Amino acid sequence: MEEFSNRADRRKAEAEGAMTEQRFLKLADRFIDLANRENKDTKATDLHMAFLYASARYSAHVGKNVLSVAEHEQFVQDMLKAYTEMLRNHLADPNL
């Protein structure tokens, strides 16, 4: 993710398709909103496993077909490390 010192530069970069932190968080919020809507009819424990499955499936697609990773196991370890860090950060969040 790119970081910007002022709003004008950030907006210009976003208009050009850059993934800024603000854009990243808004995108993540859209998935959370979807989960919250689905949670009206689906148990949270089932829903979170469906999201985890979907994330793994899409990550495999990106690894194989977009990034063309040669070392699948290294890609798995990189994804595991990123997920672990995100999960630990969220579990430690007193506002969650």
pLDDT digits (tens, 9 = 90+) for 8-45: 766 777 666 778 888 899 999 999 999 999 999 999 99
Q: What is the mean pLDDT of the chain?
A: 91
Instruction: Give the mean model confidence (pLDDT) for residues 65-73.
Output: 96
Predicted local confidence at residue 2, as pLDDT: 62
Nearest to 32 by CA among 55, 11, 64: 55
Cα–Cα–Cα angle for 80, 86, 87, rounded to 5 degrees = 85
| Cα atoms in the Cβ-side hemisphere of radius 13 Å centred on 11 | 3
Instruction: Give the mean model confidence (pLDDT) for residues 61-77.
Output: 97
Nearest to 55 by CA among 79, 72, 77, 37: 79
DSSP 31: H
Q: Is the pLDDT of residue 4 over 90?
A: no
